[in-house]
């Protein structure tokens, strides 16, 4: 009889602990969401850089949920000393398992400190280009031009070359144009200059650079360098190429294409 009473008592105790843990889980999740929302909308947080704001929000969310998990473990009656001992004994395995995550966390902190990128900037990283949407604890998310989301581990970010297209106000458009041998070089430069002068997005200061820079196998190469606002780069490039195609055709300037002359030797 005493054994039965002991079993019932244990079951009741476990049931109460499960109920308490469930209540703490529900209330804890509600409080975490409430706290995160308050902090996210706070004036002090809004004054921070968007990159820092996103990172801190993710870090705080991770910490609060970890604290909630520890609290639930304690309510369930699992001795914390046993939990610590378990983690200590499995330390090597855990270290290997989270090695990548720890590297990503450190990478996120490095990004936060040195700020090579910020939310809203257009960048290229490891061959992937897009607008930075979020710098998280472990991953940085880019939104590509075709509306895809690319997640790049922060550890890779710190070991890669990052090209930031948004950090400077001006960008330089470089074009290599080939024209046929025999073309009047001064006329070619005049036509190119006229196209650039006619485009409102092509800056006049700094002055455009237009010079013949190479004599290729089948063409004379002219290098064109013109400055524009960073947001006008794509539009300017397309407009200038289209206008040059029409202007060259109108002025009789030939744009050659690669060709191969074959001579057949007759030994008869």
Q: Among 105, 140, 138, 99, which residue's Cα sits nearest to residue 119?
A: 140
Q: 2-89 adopts what CATH topology?
A: Helix Hairpins (1.10.287)
More confident site: 7 or 214: 214
pTM: 0.62
What would the CATH number be for the domain defined by 103-164? 2.30.30.60
The percent of residues above 70 in pLDDT, for the chain, comes to 80
Lookup: tokens for 255: 């744009």
pLDDT band at 260; cut points 50, 70, 90: low
pLDDT band at 196; cut points 50, 70, 90: very high
- Amino acid 23: pLDDT: 84
pLDDT band at 80; cut points 50, 70, 90: low
87: pLDDT strictly greater than 60:
no
CATH architecture of residue range(s) 170-251? 2-Layer Sandwich (3.30)
Query: Can you tell me the mean pLDDT for 217-228?
Result: 94
Distances in whole angstroms, Cα of residue 57 to Cα of each of 8, 21, 41, 206: 45, 26, 11, 43
Query: What DSSP string runs through the chain?
Result: -HHHHHHHHHHHHHHHHHHHHHHHHHHHHHHHHHHHHHHHT-HHHHTS-HHHHHHHHHHHHHHHHHHHHHHHHHHTT--HHHHHHHHHHTHHHHHHHTHHHHHHHHHHHHHHHH-S--TT-EEEETTEEEEEEEE-SSEEEEE-TTS-EEEEEHHHHHTS-EEESSSSSEEEEEEEEEE-TT--HHHHHHHHHHHHHH-TTS-SSSPPEEEEEEE-SS-EEEEEEEEEEGGGHHHHHHHHHHHHHHHHHHHT----------------
pLDDT band at 83; cut points 50, 70, 90: low
Per domain, the residue ranges of the chain are 2-89, 103-164, 170-251
- Amino acid 15: pLDDT: 75
40: pLDDT strictly greater than 90:
no
Mean pLDDT lowest for which of 41-50, 185-194, 201-210? 41-50
- Amino acid 94: pLDDT: 45
pLDDT band at 166; cut points 50, 70, 90: very high
pLDDT band at 20; cut points 50, 70, 90: confident
């Amino acid at each position: 009889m005493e054994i039965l009473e002991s079993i019932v008592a244990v079951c009741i105790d476990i049931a109460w602990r499960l109920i308490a843990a469930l209540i703490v889980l529900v209330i804890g999740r509600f409080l975490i969401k409430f706290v995160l929302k308050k902090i996210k909308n706070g004036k002090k947080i809004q004054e921070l850089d968007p990159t820092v704001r996103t990172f801190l929000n993710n870090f705080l969310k991770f910490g609060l949920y970890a604290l909630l998990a520890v609290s639930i473990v304690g309510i369930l009656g699992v001795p914390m000393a046993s939990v610590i001992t378990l983690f200590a004994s499995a330390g090597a395995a855990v270290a290997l398992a989270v090695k990548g995550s720890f590297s990503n966390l450190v990478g996120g902190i490095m990004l936060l400190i040195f700020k090579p990128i910020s939310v809203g900037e257009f960048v290229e990283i490891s061959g992937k280009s897009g607008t930075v949407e979020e710098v998280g604890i472990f991953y940085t998310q880019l939104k590509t031009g075709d509306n895809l989301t690319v997640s790049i581990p922060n550890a890779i970010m710190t070991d890669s070359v990052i090209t930031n297209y948004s950090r400077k106000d001006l960008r330089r458009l470089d074009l290599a144009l080939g024209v046929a041998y025999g073309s009047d070089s001064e006329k070619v430069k005049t036509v190119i200059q006229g196209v650039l002068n006619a485009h409102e997005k092509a800056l006049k200061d700094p002055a455009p650079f237009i010079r013949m820079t190479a004599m290729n196998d089948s063409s004379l190469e002219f290098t064109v360098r013109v400055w524009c606002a960073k947001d006008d780069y794509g539009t300017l490039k397309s407009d200038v190429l289209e206008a040059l195609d029409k202007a060259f055709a109108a002025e009789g300037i030939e744009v050659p294409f690669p060709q191969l002359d074959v001579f057949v030797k007759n030994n008869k």
